A and B are shown apart, each in its own frame.
Chain A
Amino acid sequence: GQSLEQPSEVTAVEGAIVQINCTYQTSGFYGLSWYQQHDGGAPTFLSYNGLDGLEETGRFSSFLSRSDSYGYLLLQELQMKDSASYFCAVLTGANNLFFGTGTRLTVIP
Chain B
Amino acid sequence: DADVTQTPRNRITKTGKRIMLECSQTKGHDRMYWYRQDPGLGLRLIYYSFDVKDINKGEISDGYSVSRQAQAKFSLSLESAIPNQTALYFCATSDSRTPNTEAFFGQGTRLTVV
Which A residues contact B (CB, under 8 angstroms)?
A: 1-2, 8, 30-31, 33, 35, 41-45, 48, 50, 87, 89, 91, 94-102
Cβ distance B25 to chain A, nearest Cβ, rounded Å = 13
A8 / chain B contacts, CB cutoff of 8 Å: 40
Taking the closest CB of chain B, its distance from the CB of A64, in whole angstroms, is 13
Which residues from chain B contact A99 at a C-beta distance below 8 Å?
35, 42-45
Partner of B102, one of A41, A45, A95: A45
Which of chain B's residues has its CB closest to A44's CB?
B105
Q: Report whether B103 and A42 are in contact in the complex, using a CB–CB cutoff of 8 Å.
A: no
- Is the CB–CB distance between B40 and A31 below 8 Å? no
Contacts of B99 in A (CB 8 A): 48, 50
Closest to B99 in A: A50
B74 in contact (CB, < 8 A)? no
| Known pairs A42-B106, A48-B102; A96 contacts B33 (CB<8 A) | yes
Q: Please, which residues of chain B bring their CB within 8 A of the CB of A42?
A: 90, 105-108
Which residues in A have their C-beta under 8 angstroms from that of B44?
99
Residues of A within 8 A of B15 (CB): none
A96-B33, A96-B48 known; A101 vs B41 contact (CB < 8 Å): yes
- A48 contact set on B, CB distance < 8 A: 99-102
Q: A42-B107, A43-B43, A87-B43 are in contact. Are A97 and B100 (CB under 8 A)?
A: no
User: Which A residue's beta carbon lies closest to that of B33?
Assistant: A97
